[in-house]
Structure 1
Amino acid sequence: MRGRNRACSLTATLALVFAATTLAVFAMIGTYVYLALAHEVRTQDDLDIVLAARHTRRLIGELAGTGDLRAHKERVESQVLGNEALSVEILDPSNRVLLEHNRVETADELSWPPGTVGASQQITTASIVERLATNDMPFRRLAALARLSDGSYVTIIVTRNMHDRKLLLDQYRDRLRFAGSAGVLLAFLMSYLLLRRALNPLREIARSAENFTIDNLASRIKVGHVPQELQSLVLSLNTMFAGFERGFTRLSRFTADLAHDMRTPLGNLRGATEVALARPRSSEEYQAVLASNLEECDRLSRMIENVLFLARAEHPTFAKHKVEFSVEDELLKIAEYFEGIADDAGVHLRESGGGRLAADVELFRRAVSNLLANAVRYTPRGGTITLDTQTQGDTLRVSVTNQGVPLDSAMLERVFDRFYRADPSRTSSSSTSGSAGLGLAIVRTIMDLHGGSAHAESGPGVTRFVLTFPVEKPATGVPSRVA
């Protein structure tokens, strides 16, 4: 439910964004259209004022004197007839009204600036003046001098009442606002519905993801009907689910294998103890039972230590201390340590190669020792184990080669898995003294920590384990703590 609310919130948010964008666009377009219309209306009205003034001046110029104005009143008024918003006044030099038509007293009460267009000057729209009455009623006026035939002058005043234009523009503005509001509301509703439909694939992905549970680790999100923009998201989620499945499977197998391997020494401990307590025994027999139990305890202790190491090594904060050292010297020390064990097993150790490496010395020793212990365990008596190093470009390869029965390809792929043994039986005698199937897994973990790799090769009578380290050269003898 919470996820659905968030999805709806996203839909509403995007719809509001689209509506706000639509409102901004409508506002800009509406403002532009409104201003363009107002400019066009004003330009046309100013042209009417100018034409009326020009024609009136021309007619007055044909009259002999002011006395003819009364006789030709209709001709003079004809310039503004048919337009009730236009008014004309003719004033003598003493500002007495000689003739008027549609005169508006409100306009006369306004304070108009002095100045008229001269009789010899051309009448243009630049001479028009606008004023607002107390009721916000606009007026536009033009005053010009006209010369009669007798040489006298009169003043022509043409006034335009802009009240009708103001009402027209106000109505147009209100319609734009209504249309804009309706358009924004329609845009919000349509975008909401379209976005809700467009986000259906996300809801389908969420419902498919809910099917991925601990009881259904194989569940995946289908990519077929997902839009192209969401395919990368689905692939990432499926990759994550696959990683979870591998992790759970690996953890389950690891837990099962650990329980199985721990059950064997515990069973041995219990069985040996029960046999010893079944009847009174001599001190030598009790000592033998205790020695056997001590071996089983050592086996359990090694197993627990290895499991703890693997758990710590997989943690992001695991620290390793890198120093630069001589690989040949370290291999000689490891070979010397295993010399007695090899003699008891009847095998020979041989070391060759050299070079320098920047790595954690303790982890390096542990990795090579695990490989060497594994080689000693599976090399027949009289065989030879070779420790060899080679530098190839930016890598250094450390290989442990032993003679014996080769491993098939299936074993080579799984030999570094935890609790995996090439022996078909888990309870073989060799496993009793071994590392409980964790030795090679520890080797691979150590190589992962160093950014290297570990792999196995096997041929007729020969098996080779190879560790590939990247060559790094920090300051000699100065450890670097790397988390």
Structure 2
Amino acid sequence: MRPAPARPLVWRLSVWLAIQSLMGLMLVAMGVYLATAWSLSIREQETLEQRHAVVKHLIEEAVANADPVTLRHKLDDFFVGTTGVGLRLELPDGKPLYERAMQGAHNHTRAVTFEQPWPLDPQRSIRGALTLDTTLDDSLLERLAAILVVSALAGAMLISLTGSALVRRSLMPVLALSRQIRSLGPAGLHGRLDGIGQPEELQPVVEQFNALLQRLEQAYAQLEAFNADVAHELRTPLAALIGHSEVALSRPRSVQELQEVIGNNLDDLRRLSGIVNDMLFLSKADRGARARRVPVPSVAELVNEVVEFHEAALQEANLQSRVTGDASGAYDAALLRRALSNLLANATRYASPGTTVEVEIAMPLPDVLQLVVSNTGTEIGREHLPRLFDRFYRAEASREHSDLNHGLGLAIVAAIARMHDGQPFVDSHSGRTSIGLRLSTTAAAASSSSRQR
């Protein structure tokens, strides 16, 4: 089941921006509200303390004269023009001494209680309660809270709308890149993304994508060339098979003539089979096949076996052979024989008669095996060296025996090197050509060596 597509990026960014903005504005609003409430609370407390100090002073003066009536008159004078403040005084026996109630309905109040010594009875005290009306302050806080909440919501909505427009505008370069990418296809791989006007953050993306297009273009060109080469290589033996068969069937033939035709066809079929087998091997190597390593105590012994197998071809070409050096390690012996066989066959075809084909075994590094097959003959042009290990590539199509060589030998050598975590190499100068490969002794050593490099 196909997963549901994710919500648009603009929507997600706008929503998260609105949420974060709302959280930030609510924190600011809460700070403003708490600061205001704290300031009002301090002001109320100071008001009560001021009133308490005055009332305490008046009580002390009146009590000193033992004149409660004078105290009441002074308290009445004190509260003239004062609203929102109430006072209640009680004698030690609980009887009210003075009481002034706040006017109107008071839903929110703040009070402070106190005791004052009573001179008529030093062991006892009068009790008082001073009350302050905080309804206006509490109403102010309620209105402030409502205003702050509405402002935070409105601000978050405004930030969300402007943020959405800003995100859309910021994503315009991405949409432009998307349109450029959509216009690319197999026929237009030569095109590249235009990084002009793109923000700095997108420049690495443009560069990496253009590099990917470059690799894809090269791979596509190689694939087309490879398909053409395969068709060309298969067409020649198939055409020969068809021609021989048509000639054989054009008129009655003797058994000997038919056997000759079948023999010729068998040679072409073997060549076709070799091409197909080599292509299957290269395909497996391209899919990441690895060499099956086993301990090889003596590489020189393995090389001598391959040289002995090619001894007849070397003698026919009037060539000598020499093997120098030795090494040991873990390799795929069968693949190593195949690579050496291809290198020796290549050297035998192009070496000058009367010269020596040399196979050198060395270990330039403790975990690297180097095998080099050298021959004396016509040099390979420098322009051909980078492509010498490409499939079906021949430095000179007119060279001797090129009709028998279908151009996959060195490509297989390169594939075997890669399967051993190594690489092939070639050098040709001063009339001497050296082709070989470097292999890691073990897979663990290869990974360790790559980390060190």
Give me the TM-score of the superposition, normalised by structure 1.
0.83
User: Does residue 467 of the first structure (1) align with residue 440 of the second (2)?
Assistant: no
State the partner residue of 1:159.
131
Q: How much does 1:447 deviate?
A: 0.8
State the partner residue of 2:35.
36
Match of 2:308 among 336, 340, 344: 336
Match of 1:454 among 416, 424, 441: 424
Q: How much does 1:295 deviate?
A: 0.7
What amino acid maps onto 1:411 in structure 2?
H
- Could you list the runs of 5+ residues in structure 2 that have no partner in the other structure? 446-453
Match of 1:399 among 372, 384, 407: 372
Alignment of 1:207-218 (within 5 A): 207-218=179-190
Taking a change above 3 Å as real, the CA distance of residues 473 and 179 of structure 1, as seen in their structure-2 partners, is closer
Give deviations 1:447-481, integer Å, cap 9, x for gaps: 11112121221123322112222333989xxxxxx
Q: Distance in 2 between matches of 1:473 and 1:446?
A: 14
Taking a change above 3 Å as real, the CA distance of residues 176 and 19 of structure 1, as seen in their structure-2 partners, is same
Q: How much does 1:337 deviate?
A: 0.3
Q: In 2, are the aligned partners of 1:323 and 1:360 still within 8 Å (CA)?
A: yes
Give deviations 1:300-322, integer Å, cap 9, x for gaps: 00000000100011113x24211
Q: How much does 1:27 deviate?
A: 2.2
Give deviations 1:136-169, integer Å, cap 9, x for gaps: x332222334468877965443211222221111
Q: How much does 1:28 deviate?
A: 2.2
What amino acid maps onto 2:377 in structure 1?
G
Q: Secondary structure at the match of 1:366?
A: helix
Q: How much does 1:40 deviate?
A: 1.4
What amino acid maps onto 2:375 in structure 1?
N
Q: How much does 1:104 deviate?
A: 5.8
Q: Which moved more, 1:240-249 or 1:326-335?
A: 240-249
Match of 1:433 among 390, 404, 416: 404
What amino acid maps onto 1:314 in structure 2?
D
Match of 1:445 among 415, 425, 428: 415
Q: Distance in 1 between matches of 2:434 and 2:68?
A: 130
Match of 2:253 among 271, 281, 290: 281
State the partner residue of 2:208.
236
Taking a change above 3 Å as real, the CA distance of residues 296 and 71 of structure 1, as seen in their structure-2 partners, is closer
Q: How much does 1:414 deviate?
A: 1.6
Q: Which moved more, 1:298-307 or 1:288-297?
A: 288-297
User: Does residue 324 of the first structure (1) align with residue 295 of the second (2)?
Assistant: yes
Q: In 2, are the aligned partners of 1:62 and 1:149 still within 8 Å (CA)?
A: no
Q: Distance in 2 between matches of 1:320 and 1:32?
A: 70
State the partner residue of 1:77.
79
What amino acid maps onto 1:441 in structure 2?
A
Taking a change above 3 Å as real, the CA distance of residues 170 and 372 of structure 1, as seen in their structure-2 partners, is same
Q: How much does 1:433 deviate?
A: 2.8
State the partner residue of 2:277.
305
Q: In 2, are the aligned partners of 1:220 and 1:241 still within 8 Å (CA)?
A: yes
Q: How much does 1:238 deviate?
A: 2.2
Q: Distance in 1 between matches of 2:232 and 2:352?
A: 28
Give deviations 1:198-235, integer Å, cap 9, x for gaps: 22222222222222211211222223333222222222
State the partner residue of 1:114.
none
Q: Distance in 2 between matches of 1:447 and 1:358?
A: 13
Taking a change above 3 Å as real, the CA distance of residues 95 and 311 of structure 1, as seen in their structure-2 partners, is same
Alignment of 1:30-179 (within 5 A): 30-63=29-62, 64=65, 65-72=67-74, 74-78=76-80, 81-82=81-82, 84-103=83-102, 137-146=107-116, 154-179=126-151
Q: Secondary structure at the match of 2:363?
A: strand
Q: How much does 1:357 deviate?
A: 3.2
Identical aligned pairs, as a percentage? 29
Taking a change above 3 Å as real, the CA distance of residues 373 and 155 of structure 1, as seen in their structure-2 partners, is same
Match of 2:322 among 347, 350, 367: 350
What amino acid maps onto 2:24 in structure 1?
V
Q: Distance in 1 between matches of 2:400 and 2:265?
A: 16
Q: How much does 1:90 deviate?
A: 3.8
Q: Which moved more, 1:138-147 or 1:287-296?
A: 138-147
Q: In 1, are the aligned partners of 2:379 and 2:433 still within 8 Å (CA)?
A: yes
Q: In 2, are the aligned partners of 1:69 and 1:98 still within 8 Å (CA)?
A: no
Give deviations 1:51-70, integer Å, cap 9, x for gaps: 11221221233333112245
Q: Distance in 2 between matches of 1:213 and 1:438?
A: 30
User: Does residue 190 of the first structure (1) align with residue 162 of the second (2)?
Assistant: yes
Q: In 1, are the aligned partners of 2:322 and 2:359 still within 8 Å (CA)?
A: yes
Q: In 2, are the aligned partners of 1:328 and 1:353 still within 8 Å (CA)?
A: yes
Match of 1:373 among 319, 328, 345: 345
Q: In 2, are the aligned partners of 1:53 and 1:156 still within 8 Å (CA)?
A: no
Q: How much does 1:196 deviate?
A: 2.0
Give deviations 1:337-393, integer Å, cap 9, x for gaps: 001122223322222221223211111111110111111122243332111222212
What amino acid maps onto 2:211 in structure 1?
T
State the partner residue of 2:451.
none
C-alpha RMSD of matched pairs (Å): 2.6
Q: Secondary structure at the match of 2:30?
A: helix
What amino acid maps onto 1:144 in structure 2?
F
Q: Distance in 1 between matches of 2:243 and 2:280?
A: 27
State the partner residue of 1:24.
23
Q: How much does 1:18 deviate?
A: 2.4
What amino acid maps onto 1:442 in structure 2?
I
Give me the TM-score of the superposition, normalised by structure 2.
0.88
State the partner residue of 1:421.
394
Q: Distance in 2 between matches of 1:150 and 1:278?
A: 155
Q: Distance in 1 between matches of 2:101 and 2:319?
A: 131
Q: Secondary structure at the match of 2:8?
A: helix
Q: Secondary structure at the match of 2:187?
A: coil
Q: How much does 1:417 deviate?
A: 0.9
Q: Distance in 2 between matches of 1:182 and 1:48?
A: 37
Q: Distance in 2 between matches of 1:264 and 1:300?
A: 10
Number of aligned residue pairs: give it: 434
Q: In 2, are the aligned partners of 1:18 and 1:188 still within 8 Å (CA)?
A: yes
